[in-house]
Amino acid sequence: ETGVTQSPTHLIKTRGQQVTLRCSSQSGHNTVSWYQQALGQGPQFIFQYYREEENGRGNFPPRFSGLQFPNYSSELNVNALELDDSALYLCASSPRTSGRVDTQYFGPGTRLTVL
Amino acid sequence: SQQGEEDPQALSIQEGENATMNCSYKTSINNLQWYRQNSGRGLVHLILIRSNEREKHSGRLRVTLDTSKKSSSLLITASRAADTASYFCANHGGTSYDKVIFGPGTSLSVIP
C-alpha cells in the first residue's frame, strides 16, 4: 500500500458526459501527477500539479483539466467524454524537492468505461 | 515519439530462472525508474537509477543504465511465480520531473 487513494474504483459513463476522478496524495507529498493507461499500453502522462498549480502537461486536449487543493489532494476532470477515453486513470504523488527527481507513488487507479 | 521502447513485449520463464527486460529511448535518459504492475492495478515502484549511476541493486533486482546508448535493463534473478506482472520503465526528463515518459511494458509470466 502506497498511501495514495483514488475514487471511485470503477466508473461507467456515456459518450458526451463529464467525469471527475479524485486522488488523495500520500502524507507529506506536495506533487500529484495524472496518467491515462489504455489496455495493454504504458501509462501516458496527462499533467502534474505542484502546490495547486499545473506544472507540466502531456499531449492531452483541454477537455482534460485538473485541480489541486491546499491539502494536496487532486481532481481530474474530463469533459465531453469520447469512447477512446476508456482507460485506467492513475494518479501518483511525490515529495518534490529542489531540482531532484523523487519516486512517484501510485494509487490503485480508476477504471473508466465510456459507452 | 518520446515513448520508450521495451523488449521483449512478453516473456515466459520457469520459476528459478532469471528474467531480463530492456528499455530504450530516442531522447536522452536522465533519471529512470522501473515499476511493476499486477493485473491492471496501480504501479509499484521498484528502483530509481539516476543519470550519474550505472548499476543499482535491490534484493533480487539489478538495474543497469547506459546513458550513451539511451538504454536500461532490469534483471530479476531466481524468479518466483509472484513476480508474474507487467514491468515498465519510465524516463524522467532532466532535473524537473514535470513529464515522465513510460515504455509500453514487458509482460512477465513465471511458471511454477
8 Å CB contact of A92 and B43: yes
* Cβ contacts of A104 on chain B, cutoff 8 Å: 33, 45, 97, 100
Helix (H, G, I), strand (E, B) or coil at A28: coil
The predicted pLDDT at position B30 comes to 79
The answer to whether A108 and A1 are in contact (CB under 8 A) is no
Residue B44 contacts A where some CB pair is shorter than 8 Å: yes
The predicted pLDDT at position B1 comes to 46
Q: Which of B7, B3, B10 is nearest to B25 (CA)?
A: B3
8 Å CB contact of B42 and A2: yes
Mind telling me how many Å the CA of A17 is from chain B's nearest CA? 24
pLDDT tens digit string along A20-69? 999 999 888 888 999 999 998 999 999 999 889 998 888 899 999 999 99
* Cβ contacts of A33 on chain B, cutoff 8 Å: 100
The predicted pLDDT at position B98 comes to 59
Query: Is A99 a residue whose pLDDT tops 60?
Result: no
Helix, strand, coil shares of chain B, percent, nearest 5, are: 5, 55, 40
Q: How far is it, in rounded angstroms, from Cα B103 to Cα B112? A: 27
Mind telling me how many Å the CA of A15 is from chain B's nearest CA? 23
The predicted pLDDT at position A55 comes to 84
**Cα separation values, A59 from A16, A35, B2, B68, Å:** 20, 11, 11, 27
8 Å CB contact of B95 and A99: yes
Residue B27 contacts A where some CB pair is shorter than 8 Å: no
Nearest to B41 among A44, A48, A109 (CB): A109
Q: Which of residues 55-84 of B touch A (CB under 8 A)?
A: none
The predicted pLDDT at position A104 comes to 85
* Cβ contacts of A111 on chain B, cutoff 8 Å: 40
Per-residue pLDDT of chain B (112 residues; tens, 9 = 90+): 457 888 899 999 999 999 999 999 988 887 899 999 998 788 999 999 988 999 999 999 999 999 999 999 999 999 999 999 999 999 876 545 557 889 999 999 999 9
